[in-house]
């Protein structure tokens, strides 16, 4: 995911928009698509003629089918933003909207190896205390043959996975696990480390018996062992393995200014 909301600071003494950490949806949005774990709790059963028989519960969904759909069809979603930003004892509400687009993947080379590359675009408008801040970030997401995130490039950041990311073949609601750790540098020379990201996931049952809410959580540590921001993206996956972005969340504090955003 591109490093969105690099900095949105308003005039001194007001700062209603705060200093939003560099990685509002750090790679996680498209990588969440790449996970696409699907399932829900329950598991069929019951007597003949019951409602359970008429509406069987799906307990496991194929990941690769959903991955292929996301990266061969592309994705676009627009969400409404609510939240707040605080500076000391002063809190202002945040409203706005964001639109995220993932392009169809194409063959590429990343770090000397073969990869798939998808263009990403995030545009957003945030309003707080009478101030409106438009934001646009473009980037390139790199995934391996299994669509797991291996890197990302934007105008001011270059991230590389330090492990070999992989997802289970299938999953059910209630699963969780680690996906990847990425070192992010100021550019592709990798001379200056600026951030470390850790990506994990958790699955919960969707709003109906045949869907799953897959939440990918990205924690940014900066150059310390203490989390600076936590962002997450939630995809609702259908029984057919079709993903739909339904929620994006962010919380964090920087330079004494806290920000909490919920888009759905």
What region does 115 belong to: left with phi over 0, alpha with psi -120 to 50, or beta?
Answer: beta
Please list the ranges in the chain whose pLDDT falls under 50: 1-57
Residue the block writes with tokens 């070192």: 183
Q: What is the DSSP string of 72-102?
A: HH-EEEEEEEEEEEEETTEEEEEEEEEEEEE
Domain locations in the chain?
Answer: 28-263
- pLDDT at residue 58 in the model: 55
Phi, psi of 34 (to 5 degrees): -70, -20
Residue the block writes with tokens 């997802």: 167
The two most distant CA atoms of the chain are separated, in Å, by 69
CB-based contact 59:40 (threshold 8 Å): yes
- pLDDT at residue 1 in the model: 32
Residue 201, judged by CB atoms within 10 A of its CB (0-12, 13-18, 19+), counts as buried
Tens of pLDDT along 102-141?
899 999 999 999 999 999 888 888 888 788 878 787 889 9
CA 163 to chain centre: 19
- pLDDT at residue 141 in the model: 92
- pLDDT at residue 132 in the model: 83
Its pTM stands at 0.76
């Amino acid at each position: 995911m591109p490093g969105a909301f690099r900095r949105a600071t308003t005039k001194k003494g007001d700062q209603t928009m705060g200093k939003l950490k560099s990685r509002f949806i750090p790679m996680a949005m498209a990588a969440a698509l790449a996970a696409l774990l699907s399932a829900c709790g329950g598991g069929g059963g019951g007597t003949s003629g019951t409602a359970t028989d008429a509406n069987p519960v799906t307990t496991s969904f194929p990941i690769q089918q959903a991955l292929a759909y996301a990266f061969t069809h592309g994705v676009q979603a627009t969400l409404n933003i609510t939240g707040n930003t605080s500076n000391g004892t002063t809190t202002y509400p945040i409203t706005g909207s964001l639109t995220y687009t993932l392009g169809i993947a194409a063959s590429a080379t990343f770090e000397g190896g073969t990869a798939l590359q998808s263009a990403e675009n995030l545009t957003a408008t945030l309003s707080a205390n009478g101030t409106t801040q438009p934001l646009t970030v473009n980037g390139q997401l790199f995934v391996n043959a299994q669509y797991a995130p291996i890197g990302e490039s934007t105008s001011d950041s270059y991230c590389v996975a330090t492990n070999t990311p992989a997802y289970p073949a299938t999953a059910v609601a209630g699963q969780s696990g680690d996906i990847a750790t990425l070192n992010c540098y100021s550019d592709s020379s990798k001379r200056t480390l600026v951030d470390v990201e850790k990506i994990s996931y958790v699955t919960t049952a969707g709003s109906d018996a045949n869907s799953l809410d897959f939440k990918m959580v990205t924690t940014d540590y900066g150059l310390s062992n203490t989390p600076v921001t936590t962002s997450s993206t939630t995809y609702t996956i259908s029984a057919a393995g079709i993903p739909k972005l339904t929620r994006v969340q962010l919380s964090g504090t920087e330079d004494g200014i806290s920000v909490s955003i919920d888009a759905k």
